[in-house]
Structure 1
Amino acid sequence: MLEYNAQARLLVSCKDQPGIVANISSALYQVGANITESAQFSTDPTDGMFFMRIAFDHHGLHALTELNRHLRGLQASTKMTYRLTDPNHRLRIAIFVSREDHCLMELLWQQRTNMLPVDIAMIISNHDLYEKTAQEFSIPFHYIPITKDTKIDAENAQHRLLESRVDLIVLARYMQILSRQMIARYPNKIINIHHSFLPAFIGARPYERAYERGVKIIGATAHYVTDELDAGPIIEQDITRVKHSDDVASLKKMGRLIEKNVLARAVKWHAEDRVLVHNNKTIVFT
């Protein structure tokens, strides 16, 4: 028997129905693939949606070609959508950042230490604070200032830099609201970190508003960006408890730790094909 010389991932979405797992497993068996990881979820076994993520070893291009042929047959009969990916292909990401650097530095460190399976193609900022940091990590840095009058021109300049060069945009405390045109260019390919436990305190100054409200927990939320502000599909969240004696500065200090970790996990899971989007929710196979 041929030794396995390659790996792949298969993501499947379809209306739940009998035989899906058996048919997909059979297709993998017929091309000699070996399943190494499998996870599945149904929103409702009677009238719901079915989602699956499978990692497997295979014998190379011919096996994948044959698997695609089998999957296209299943696609025609089940109306499923599927995606095959190569785990050895590292996503190229662009990091957008404004003034605060804690999320940026966490992503840079995790990427350098191989904890984050991505390549950072560029850093884009509306401030000129992190050019030296980018140079230290040998990453191209692009300073594109933005005002109310130059926002469209700035986004067009960003798009020219990004086009055909990146797979994912990460807003690492980038404090500009993207236009609908920008968002439409990258559906479910922009991840933002919001410094509150959404849906609480959408928009600006969430720590100040949390303090005024006297909350007992604060949190952070990583989500895909959509037209509706801070309302895209949520990928990851976390919280920490606060005391009545904590002021706004204390909340921000604690919040930075949550923000950087939540964002890094969301980017990692996206890069590992662990996130499937359904309507305005996510299925995250961790």
Structure 2
Amino acid sequence: MDHQSPTPPVTRQSSGYTHGFVLTLSCEDKPGIVASVTTELAGLDANIAESNQFWDRQTNRFFMRIAFAASEETAKDDVERALKPAIERFGMKTTLIDQAKKPKIVIMVSKFDHALLHLIYQIKVGWLDAEVAAIVSNHEDSRRFAEHEGIPYHVLPVSKDNKTAQEEALLKIVKDTGADLVILARYMQVLSDTLSKRLFGKVINIHHSFLPSFKGAKPYHQAFERGVKLIGATAHYVTPDLDEGPIIEQETERVSHAMSAEDFVATGRDIESRVLARAVKKHLESRVMLNGHKTVVF
């Protein structure tokens, strides 16, 4: 797999390259895929800023991500039309992102707001390029913060009797805001199988352990009781299989016998915030591609 440092959108005013796009594609691996795509982009007088590719030998699937810039007059439809012959020839599954459109996100949170606050901060300083369309919670705790930031705040208390209705309300919020991604920033409710399927590939969760260890309640206390030497966090896509979705990002940190359970929790909060933010950034930049139960991350 070819890992490269993130490349910012190319905006060379003097050369006329002012419109940035990101193309991702996957298909059965065959000769000529890269040539067919780059030839069509050259025909549009586009300039390639970054290119990553990966061949999964086990499944014979080919994955590619290309960031490129074109003239201001080049529209998304123009690119799609130019690429259509190559897409049909190789049976490609593609997505094309217009970087002029800022992605919108919905953040879901319960009472622990550290991951939420970190995401908002990274947006404020420009490291994350996104617009928070709404914050959704099953508690009132983060309302004051949301109102201070000017972010719409929706409280949807969940019980076994109203879960279906509340999830429909969530889907309406996602649809009405045009959100591209839903982020579970320590949202302590399990999404139903139906909702997980309807939003497949568009929901990222931060799990407060280095999966698959220590599932369920109080994972850091479980880790403390077991005397572990490493704790961590996992950011993954949500699927109907609880905490089994394709993993995007993980991190661990060393702990010791001298630390208390509260020290474990504090360390865990920091890891969770960092891991979730990195996963969100990679998703928003179209650097994550689903490969069965796994991901290809460029």
| TM-score between the two structures when normalised by the length of structure 1 | 0.95
TM-superposed CA distance for 1:245, in Å, is 2.1
Moved over 6 A (4+): none
Cα 1:24/1:143, change in 2 over 3 Å:
same
Amino acid at match of 1:22: A
TM-superposed CA distance for 1:175, in Å, is 0.3
Contact 1:32/1:63 (CA < 8 Å) preserved in 2? no
Separation of aligned partners in 2, 1:75 and 1:162: 30
Cα 1:64/1:118, change in 2 over 3 Å:
closer
Of stretches 31-40 and 200-209 in structure 1, the one that deviates more from structure 2 is: 200-209
Query: Equivalent residue for 2:128?
Result: 116
Equivalent of 2:208, from 166, 174, 195?
Answer: 195
Alignment pair present for 1:30 and 2:43: yes
Cα 1:69/1:154, change in 2 over 3 Å:
closer
Contact 2:184/2:204 (CA < 8 Å) preserved in 1? yes
TM-superposed CA distance for 1:249, in Å, is 1.2
- After superposition, residues 50-61 of structure 1 pair within 5 angstroms as 50-61=62-73
TM-superposed CA distance for 1:167, in Å, is 1.1
* CA deviation string 1:170-211 (max 9, x = no partner): 000000001112112211100000010112122332112212
TM-superposed CA distance for 1:147, in Å, is 1.8
Contact 2:233/2:272 (CA < 8 Å) preserved in 1? yes
Alignment pair present for 1:176 and 2:189: yes
Separation of aligned partners in 1, 2:269 and 2:75: 46
Alignment pair present for 1:266 and 2:282: no
* CA deviation string 1:3-44 (max 9, x = no partner): 223111111111111111111111111111110111111112
Percent identity of equivalent pairs: 45
TM-superposed CA distance for 1:254, in Å, is 0.4
| TM-score between the two structures when normalised by the length of structure 2 | 0.91
Query: Equivalent residue for 1:282?
Result: 295
Separation of aligned partners in 1, 2:195 and 2:77: 35
Amino acid at match of 1:84: L
3-state SS of 2:42 partner: helix
The answer for unaligned runs of 5 or more in structure 1 is none
Query: Equivalent residue for 1:8?
Result: 21
* CA deviation string 1:90-130 (max 9, x = no partner): 11111100010100100111112211111000111111011
Quote the RMSD (CA, aligned, Å).
Answer: 1.7
Separation of aligned partners in 1, 2:242 and 2:132: 26
Query: Equivalent residue for 1:67?
Result: 79
Amino acid at match of 2:165: D
Separation of aligned partners in 2, 1:82 and 1:160: 27
